[in-house]
Structure 1
Amino acid sequence: MCGIMGYVGDKETQRVLTEGLRKLEYRGYDSVGIALNDGETLQHEKSKGRLEVLEEKLEGAPLAGSIGIGHTRWATHGRPSDENSHPHLDEQSKFAVVHNGIIENYMEIKREMKEAGYSFTSETDSEVISHLFSHLYDGEMVSTIQKVVDRLEGAYALGIVSEHDPERLYAVREASPLIIGSGDGESLISSDIPALLEHTRDVYILEDGEMAILSKEGVTLMETETGKELTRDIFRVDWDMEQAEKNGYDHFMLKEIFEQPTALRKTMTGRLDQEAKRVDFEELQWSPETIQQWNKITIVACGTAYHAGLIGKHVIEELTRIPVDVEVASEFRYRRPIIDEKTLVIVVSQSGETADTLAAMRQSQRLGANVLAITNVVGSSIAREADEVILTMAGPEIAVASTKAYTTQVLSFYLLGLYLAESKQTVTEQKYKQLIESIIELPEKIEGMLEHSQGIRWYSDSIKDAKSVFFLGRGLDHAVALEGSLKLKEISYIHSEAYAAGELKHGTLALIEEGTPVIALITQDEVSEKMLGNVKEVKARGAQVLGVAEEGNLDIWEYVDETCYIPNTPSILTPLLTVIPLQLIAYYTSLALGNDVDKPRNLAKSVTVE
């Protein structure tokens, strides 16, 4: 969950590294460091805190060299500190290493190294790697790397520079993402594509069990274990640079909230024929016979993607009548799930590198299931290894709190549900076309809501000092309530919980007291009367209730204290509208509290370790 940057070329290496790390801070930002080779020795500087702290240190004593590595950290082993920051060097400062991942057997290695006379200055698992390089160096870097990684168990992406080889940068991958950039007279490594775009759009996606040798002359890829050179086509990145910048918005999160209509339209493109009113996934190679044989669908995901999966469950069951389970990936992978060749497993991950989801996908494939991935990153591990892939077209999402990735995942489930329903003939032609017409209208309706986004800001100001905020909903509204609650807690740090409203009397009412803010979602027609009864229950205990309902629903006025309306749409589609004010409430509450909206404490964007 850390960010790695590396460079070899004729540009000012220190600047290339720090600017790249700035674009990777969403992956971790509790400490940062760089190391450069000036042709004779390794120089390094690192510190606890954000990149600005390191840059202040470097102002008075810049580092020189044409080759270097950098790292921005999200702590897993060892608290944030100068000593625990990367890069880690051996005792003679001959090797510098940056690491993303977790070395599971580091304690065993550490004991051995201490017995051999090596001393350690950090609490991290990563420091053992630099000492292993010193201990195992045989005069040749490739063979030494092979010896080192042969000792490592776990997940790792490594960037390595050495005083012994002042013209080359080395990279190794095993179960942790690493991108190689190939430019004109320069080569780069990074944990993610945006950090490379200023320098090149030509990249290689390093695979597990592979390493790369980078120099000014170019890039050599090889199998780590055998040293066999590999030939691979370059992947050309077609992102607009501006997509990864703020474009005048105060925060990436706000920008990404406002990008949702565009992202939804892009996700529809090529999959939804608006004139013929048909869904067509040309990228899916399922035969009608394959679809007919599925008797169960299991959706596996984490966090926000899990919440998208809950909506997917409702949609697919409603449209296809196939039973659907939704599983948290970190639990699923340690059970003995009942799946087989008649099960479709859908894994959902924004980054395509979520460690638990990736492991769950591989487990499902071993058990014979057909696996579909819904992800935002082409070339990611999940996208490459899944049997079939639906790429959401959200573009780069930088803010830690996911917004447009979530809504494009939800849209993908709507399109998939209709696609499967047509194949299985479980939906009438009239309902099929009506839903497509309504889906086509959703981006424009969201644009209309966002034009009045400041209208919800007053509510954020009113709850910023609350001890707790509760979200209530039934059916699809409950799934959206879970996402709204997660958004609020992760960036405002206010305790927040979402409950199925029918569960109030089973314990939750004990938490409601005078003035407690409650956000009640009331968009599902078949349970609206039940929801109003639940609102009465919390109002009777003194709650201050914001009701979220469709335009024209005047009945809720006598039940709630304040109202927020969404445009009318079929009940099954309301989640894509209801979540918009909840995203804005979270954003403006965090802003009112003076928090770092894009980089909430203790969190990182891509969870690439367990």
Structure 2
Amino acid sequence: MCGIVGVLSKTNSVPVLIDGLKKLEYRGYDSAGLAIQSDVDRSIHRARSVGRVVELDATTKALTARMGIAHTRWATHGVPSERNAHPHVSEGRGISVSVVHNGIIENHEELRKSLTAEGYVFQSDTDTEVIAHLAHKHLVQGLPLLAAVQATVKLLEGAFAIAAICNTAPLTLVASKKGAPLLVGHGDGEFFLASDASALVAHTKLITYLEERDVVLLETSGVSFFDGEGMQVEREIIESQLSADAVELGPYAHYMQKEIYEQPGAIAATLEMVSNASAVKPELFGAQAGGVLPGIQQVLILACGTSYHAALVARYWLESIAALPTSVEIASEYRYRTSVSLPNTLVITISQSGETADTLAALEHAKSQGMVNALSICNVPESALIRASNLRFLTRAGPEIGVASTKAFTTQLAALFTFTMVMAKLRGKLSEDQEKTLLTQLRHLPSAMQNILALEPEIKALAASFAEKRHALFLGRGVHYPIAMEGALKLKEISYIHAEAYAAGELKHGPLALVDADMPVVAVAPKDTLIEKLKSNLQEVRARGGELYIFADRDTKIEEVDGVHVINLLDHAGHLSPILHTLPLQLLSYHVALVKGTDVDKPRNLAKSVTVE
């Protein structure tokens, strides 16, 4: 979940390192640091700071060097502090090596004990420091930096992306990955490393993604790739489609606000192949889909966090529209329980980054249980999850920098609804007229989303009184219950108000005991078959003095009175209603966070890309 940048430049690498860290700060912002190799005597100089990258930037203005590595941290082992900040260094016997690391070394305690017995002194509480000492040990034994890193990574258990420099290897940078993202950028006579292409697009669009257990050697003469067995290999250079403008804030106050407003365009891009067609086809999900999907008899969806909420919505759609049995599992829990695998099961994994460690591990576990057909729904075409799946659908949301997911979620829903249509058609549950109607609704979806966003001033007006609360309940019924869950998660993430979601019918089975004048209740109220039952549940809240914030379809006939705030949206959007009802909950959370003065884009204790278990 940390961010790595490496630069081998023709000029000064430090501004590029700092700029890259700022682009990767969504991956972690507990502390930051860099290490550079002196152009004069090749010695290693290090600078570290606690907090945001801007703090590091202020202390490194005078530094200059052609080569360096840098890191922004999300703490796993050891509290956020300068002593635990990367890069970590191991020195002695004329050798100084510096390392940055993303991931977790699972056998670090064993390695620490062994290295301590050999005389190495640890200066931090991190698992990363064992990497620096191991590399130093191999360098002392006479190995060059490339061989030292190759020998080191063979001793590491867990997930990692690492980069290393040392004083005995002039203008040489070595990196490796296993289970964590890392890529090489190819410039004009200079080379780069990064955890994410967003850190590099201002400097190059030519990138190479490292394969599992690859080790890469960057020198002024070029780049060399080696596989896990040490054999030199070729790796493809591709041109990133990411633009520098896409990762800039532009006229918006926060990335979250920007990404909320990008949703109509992101949905249109995601559904481009669908909206321009007269019918849905299995091939939307990959070249093999036509041979795989007709034989599918049940679906297993694996996801975490916001993506898990998208999966829960999909279960309603797949079972009610396609009559396809569907189960949903939290990816981080799935492989740690005994489960029953069924033949002809399609495993669907959902991840914004495609590098979510828990989801990748869950997919591997499902495959080990005999479920070999996998569909990944993801926003990153070169990600590990895409490569691990024989079917795939790219959401085309563009980069999402704000930690609280917005457009990634709604584009995942759009992809899952498209999949539902395909499966319903294959199973004889979708008539030609129904297919045309749903395609028309999908084409209209971006416009409907724009109309919802136009209600922001009304939603903003609710934030001042809501922000004073310490707890909140979110209610939904049926397919909108997961949307209530997503709304509660957004509020928790960025405003730090404790919020929980319940299926509204469950109120009287316990949660109603919490309701009083200080417990606001947010309700998702579409005009569907459950609206009258939901109204009864809301009356239960009012009878206990609870204050209601209701996001309703037009013509639900819910009156705004004292203690009942109603935001009327659009006419009921049928099956696509969950997507539209997501937007006002995002806006409510955003404006409540603004009133409270919290950091909207970088909430405490969180990071965007969860590449550790």
CA drift at 1:557:
4.3
User: Structure 1 stretch 382-391 or stretch 429-438: which is displaced more?
Assistant: 429-438
Query: Hey, what's the Cα distance between the residues in 2 that align with 1:499 and 1:256?
Result: 27
| Alpha-carbon distance change, 535 to 282 in structure 1, aligned in 2, over 3 angstroms | closer
Q: Which amino acid aligns with 2:38?
A: D
Q: Which amino acid aligns with 2:56?
A: L
Secondary structure of the corresponding residue to residue 208 of structure 2: strand
User: Structure 1 stretch 260-269 or stretch 448-457: which is displaced more?
Assistant: 448-457
1:130-160 Cα shifts (integer Å, max 9, x gaps): 1111112223122211221121111110010
CA drift at 1:340:
4.1
Aligned to 2:409: 406
Q: Which amino acid aligns with 1:2?
A: C
Aligned to 2:108: 106
CA drift at 1:215:
2.1
Q: Which amino acid aligns with 1:254?
A: Q
CA drift at 1:331:
0.7
Aligned to 2:130: 128
Aligned to 2:16: 16
* 1:200 counterpart (192, 204, 211): 204
| Alpha-carbon distance change, 342 to 495 in structure 1, aligned in 2, over 3 angstroms | same
CA drift at 1:240:
2.1
CA drift at 1:290:
3.4
RMSD of equivalent CA atoms: 1.5
Query: Hey, what's the Cα distance between the residues in 2 that align with 1:312 and 1:33?
Result: 42
Secondary structure of the corresponding residue to residue 529 of structure 2: helix
- Correspondence 1:438 to 2:441: yes
Query: Hey, what's the Cα distance between the residues in 1 that align with 2:600 and 2:312?
Result: 26
Secondary structure of the corresponding residue to residue 91 of structure 1: strand
CA drift at 1:452:
3.1
Query: Hey, what's the Cα distance between the residues in 2 that align with 1:484 and 1:247?
Result: 26
- Does the 8 Å contact 1:186/1:217 carry over to 2? no
Aligned ranges 1:367-378 → 2 under 5 Å:
367-369=369-371, 370-378=373-381
User: Structure 1 stretch 393-402 or stretch 338-347: which is displaced more?
Assistant: 338-347
Aligned ranges 1:6-155 → 2 under 5 Å:
6-39=6-39, 40-59=42-61, 62-92=62-92, 94-137=96-139, 138-155=142-159
Q: Which amino acid aligns with 1:248?
A: P
CA drift at 1:288:
5.5
- Unaligned residue ranges in structure 2 (runs of 5+): none
- Does the 8 Å contact 2:516/2:544 carry over to 1? yes
- Does the 8 Å contact 2:304/2:330 carry over to 1? yes
Query: Hey, what's the Cα distance between the residues in 1 that align with 2:255 and 2:214?
Result: 33
Q: Which amino acid aligns with 1:14?
A: V
Structure 2 length as normaliser, TM-score? 0.96
Aligned to 1:505: 508
CA drift at 1:289:
6.0
Aligned to 2:167: 163
Structure 1 length as normaliser, TM-score? 0.97
Query: Hey, what's the Cα distance between the residues in 2 that align with 1:218 and 1:388?
Result: 35
CA drift at 1:279:
5.3
Query: Hey, what's the Cα distance between the residues in 1 that align with 2:98 and 2:590?
Result: 39
Query: Hey, what's the Cα distance between the residues in 1 that align with 2:281 and 2:558?
Result: 36
Query: Hey, what's the Cα distance between the residues in 2 that align with 1:287 and 1:509?
Result: 47
Query: Hey, what's the Cα distance between the residues in 1 that align with 2:603 and 2:218?
Result: 34
Query: Hey, what's the Cα distance between the residues in 1 that align with 2:536 and 2:438?
Result: 30
Aligned to 2:565: 562
Query: Hey, what's the Cα distance between the residues in 2 that align with 1:460 and 1:142?
Result: 55
Secondary structure of the corresponding residue to residue 90 of structure 1: strand
- Does the 8 Å contact 1:14/1:63 carry over to 2? yes
Query: Hey, what's the Cα distance between the residues in 2 that align with 1:488 and 1:282?
Result: 34
Query: Hey, what's the Cα distance between the residues in 2 that align with 1:535 and 1:281?
Result: 44
Aligned to 1:269: 272
* 1:365 counterpart (339, 360, 367): 367
Aligned to 1:5: 5
- Does the 8 Å contact 1:307/1:480 carry over to 2? yes
Query: Hey, what's the Cα distance between the residues in 2 that align with 1:103 and 1:401?
Result: 27
- Correspondence 1:333 to 2:335: yes
Aligned ranges 1:308-347 → 2 under 5 Å:
308-347=310-349
How many residues align structurally? Answer: 606
Query: Hey, what's the Cα distance between the residues in 2 that align with 1:348 and 1:519?
Result: 27
Query: Hey, what's the Cα distance between the residues in 2 that align with 1:501 and 1:440?
Result: 31
CA drift at 1:209:
1.0
- Does the 8 Å contact 2:527/2:553 carry over to 1? no
- Does the 8 Å contact 2:527/2:556 carry over to 1? no
- Correspondence 1:448 to 2:451: yes
Secondary structure of the corresponding residue to residue 421 of structure 1: helix
Identity %: 40
